[in-house]
Amino acid sequence: MKPKAFVGQVIETLEKWNREACLYADNLVDPLGSSAVLCLLSECVKGKGPETELCFVFNKRSKLVRQAGDLCFPGGGIDHRFDSLVARLLGLPFFPLGRWPYWKQWKAQRRKESDLLALLLTTGLRECFEEMRLNPFRTQFLGPMPPQSLQSFQRFLYPMLVWIRHQKRFYPNREVEKVVAIPLNDLLKPEKYVRFRMRFESYVNGEESIQDFPGFFHEDEEGHEVLWGVTYRIVMTILEILFNFVPPDMEDLQVVEGMRDDNYLNSPSRRK
């Protein structure tokens, strides 16, 4: 399917799915404890040839931030002063929400949710610019996704699906080790999924705990990565909504091992 047709189909499918859903219920949205991420889709070069393919674009966290080494979608917490101001402009013509075909309908029928949507999308776009110099004017908003609970940090994560238009190069900041593109077709292959066995080592008492997570194994000329955790859950939600795809049962999958220590959930300023 050509990118233009794919984008149009995604917009319609997401809006149909969201039509009866209340994404931003009062008991979920806490502007001081909420984060927004942009789930980035793009047309990427296939191998070393001229052909292209549809891809998800991720950031790999650097050692300067917590959860170092994980793949994630760019995003972060709300800057109330800046984001609230810019959110008022986002629905104007030629801006991402203004170009979204369902924005006027949301404003008329879902006023409170539309205001929160504008605020969260503004946060995501700002964070994407800061983390990887994504040009907000080269994005196309495709629709909001269901929120995800971050149990480790007691907050909610609000994903939004975005298409990157005509931007092939990114310039990661200090928080990002590198940008990783994973082909959409690969994510639809059951044989690419693994059981990710994490070993959590504690420096305090020297003990080690082991836990298995569902994951996706990606390999390219630069090495391999494992997609897991909340980012994995977001991607699986997208694939289920758009393609009715459900990953294979984790218990039947090949085991891939990883290691994390006490510093994993701490910011650098809290590390000893």
Percent of the chain with pLDDT over 90: 63
> Per-residue confidence at 270, pLDDT binned at 50, 70, 90?
very low
pLDDT at 21 over 80: no
CA–CA gap between residue 194 and residue 211 (Å, rounded): 13
CA–CA gap between residue 213 and residue 266 (Å, rounded): 21
Q: Are strands 52-61 and 193-201 parallel, antiparallel or unpaired?
A: unpaired
Opening angle at CA 56, ends 79 and 7, nearest 5: 90
Q: Give the pLDDT score at 23.
A: 75
What the chain holds in terms of domains, given with CATH numbers, is 3-270 (3.90.79.10)
Residue with the bigger pLDDT between 126 and 157: it is 126
- Alpha-helical (H) ranges within 88-169 are 96-99, 103-109, 111-132
Please measure the distance between the N-terminal and C-terminal CA atoms of the chain and give it in whole angstroms.
51
What stretches of the chain adopt beta strand conformation (E)? 34-45, 52-61, 71-72, 75-77, 139-144, 148-150, 155-164, 176-183, 193-201, 208-220, 223-227, 255-260
pLDDT digits (tens, 9 = 90+) for 199-233: 887 655 667 788 999 999 999 888 899 999 999 99
Quick one: tokens of 106?
Answer: 């949301």
Q: Give the pLDDT score at 231.
A: 96
Which candidate, 254, 269, 244, places its Cα nearest to that of 212?
254
CA–CA gap between residue 184 and residue 56 (Å, rounded): 6
Q: Give the pLDDT score at 123.
A: 96
Q: Please report, for residues 168, 238, 272, the alpha-carbon distance to residue 188 in angstroms, rounded to integers and kept in the order given.
A: 23, 11, 42
Q: Give the pLDDT score at 88.
A: 93
Mean pLDDT of 99-106: 96
Mean pLDDT of 61-75: 92
Quick one: tokens of 103?
Answer: 């924005």
CA–CA gap between residue 24 and residue 121 (Å, rounded): 13
Which candidate, 182, 199, 191, 198, places its Cα nearest to that of 234?
182
pLDDT digits (tens, 9 = 90+) for 5-15: 999 999 999 99
